[in-house]
Amino acid sequence: MDVETLINPHLRAMQPYTPIVPFEVLSRRLGRRPEDIVKLDANENPYGPSPRALEAIAHANTLHIYPDPDQTALREAIGDYIGVSPEHILCGAGADEVIDLIARAFIQPGDALIDLPPTFGMYRWVADVVNAAYVAVPRRADFSVDVQAVQALVTSNLAPTVTNYKLLFVADPNNPDGSTICDEQLRALLALPVVIVLDEAYVDFSAHSSRVSWVPAHDNLIVLRTFSKLAGMAGLRVGYGVFPLPIIKHLWKIKQPYTPNVAGTVAAIAALSDRDYLRENVRWLVIERRRMSELLGRLGWLHVFPSEANFVLCRVAEGAPVNGGDPRWPAARRLKQALEQQGVLVRYFDRDGLRDCVRISVGRPDQTDRLMAALEALGR
């Protein structure tokens, strides 16, 4: 028996998600100590968790006990923070787990999941896992959402093989470019007969405020948030969704009972009690985003897209002064590799619409300085 034939056929054909190379692996490969590496490739928050969160983990005395499956204390703390009743809130091991739950709750094989690429790769990945019909409505050249194209698709059924449009994922701000969606466009999407999953992983860095308060009034709006970016807790894996009541009761039924874990839970509650710390770090990152964007733009061979997140997308001119790398590769890919040799990690996507771009996370000022020194050393 060929045991592989027993795997679901759609999973055998599926492409894996491409995560970033783990820090320790790169550190070994580059022969550099982890503290000598400037990690600007995964939109993490370089300031890390609040000291109160670290203390809460150090003093947690219930690590030998399963977490509260109802997430009572965590949901209350989040509800208080975002101003929405806890009955609308469900937490998971990162927003990623909540994305997975949503797809499992709504999609039967062949139902459509609408994606707005270029965007966060997890939406495509989860569509493949649940065997959805993946329908892409590409963003415009400036990365804005083509609302009319989405309307045309959903209302006139432009993809005739698809019968059921179920979910539409909108990252706001969008990863990888940091653009946002305005109220008017969001309202137009909410008028469509699909569920809008508004992914606000980066909203804390944006000029506009969160739309969580819209949820109780819109039965087809789900908003996702995370502690990974705002609270510097990516490694602890805590995220949540804010759901309409007719939806959330079904998600509770299919959710694994014990996520997030105890360490993540106590850290998240403590992080929310230290709002000055969260606010200050956001303020520093927004200031640094502006400084880094200006410095990058001054090089003359990077086009920096305006961003409202903790990263910026840069288009790399073909004539960029990047030595080394395979000459058949786009300049952006060679740039990523050349920076890596100097211990500076940025993100390159081998994907349509992004092959001439790199995405650079906003770090601490000293990290921006290392990045700039590495960029300026390239042509020499």
Ligand X SMILES: Cc1ncc(COP(=O)(O)O)c(C=O)c1O
Task: Provide, rounded to whole angstroms, the least separation between the CB of residue 239 and ligand X.
Answer: 3
Q: Is 228 in the site for ligand X (CB under 6 A)?
A: yes
Q: Is 201 in the site for ligand X (CB under 6 A)?
A: yes
Task: Provide, rounded to whole angstroms, the least separation between the CB of residue 31 and ligand X.
Answer: 28
Q: Is 239 in the site for ligand X (CB under 6 A)?
A: yes
Distances (CA, A) of 287 to 78, 216, 242, 281, 372: 26, 34, 29, 10, 16
**Dihedral of alpha carbons 340, 346, 348, 349, sign:** positive
Residues 312-371 that bind ligand X (CB under 6 A): none
Q: Is 40 in the site for ligand X (CB under 6 A)?
A: no
355 three-class SS? coil
- Of 71 and 228, nearer to ligand X (C-beta) is 228
Q: What does the alpha-carbon distance between residue 116 and residue 26 come to, in Å, rounded to a whole number?
A: 31
Q: What does the alpha-carbon distance between residue 80 and residue 164 come to, in Å, rounded to a whole number?
A: 36
Within 8 A by CB and 6+ apart from 317, the residues are 301, 302, 303, 331
Amino acid (one-letter) located at 165:
Y
Task: Provide, rounded to whole angstroms, the least separation between the CB of residue 331 and ligand X.
Answer: 25
Task: Provide, rounded to whole angstroms, the least separation between the CB of residue 98 and ligand X.
Answer: 8
Q: What does the alpha-carbon distance between residue 253 and residue 359 come to, in Å, rounded to a whole number?
A: 38
300: left (phi over 0), alpha (psi -120 to 50) or beta: left
Task: Provide, rounded to whole angstroms, the least separation between the CB of residue 105 and ligand X.
Answer: 17
- Of 93 and 378, nearer to ligand X (C-beta) is 93
Q: Is 234 in the site for ligand X (CB under 6 A)?
A: yes
Q: Burial level of 138, CB count in 10 A (0-12/13-18/19+)?
A: middle
Residue of 100, 199, 204, 288 that binds ligand X (CB under 6 A): 199
Amino acid (one-letter) located at 155:
T
The binding track of 84-123 with respect to ligand X, each residue x by CB under 6 A or -, is ----------xxx-----------------------x---
Q: What does the alpha-carbon distance between residue 137 and residue 146 come to, in Å, rounded to a whole number?
A: 7
Residue of 38, 41, 43, 361 that binds ligand X (CB under 6 A): 43
- Of 74 and 338, nearer to ligand X (C-beta) is 74
Q: Is 143 in the site for ligand X (CB under 6 A)?
A: no
Q: Is 271 in the site for ligand X (CB under 6 A)?
A: no
Residues 146-175 that bind ligand X (CB under 6 A): 171, 175
Task: Provide, rounded to whole angstroms, the least separation between the CB of residue 20 and ligand X.
Answer: 10
The DSSP-derived string for 265-315 is HHHHHHHHT-HHHHHHHHHHHHHHHHHHHHHHHHTSSEEEPP-SSSEEEEE
Residues forming contacts to ligand X in the complex (CB under 6 A) are: 43, 94-96, 120, 171, 175, 199, 201, 226, 228, 234, 239
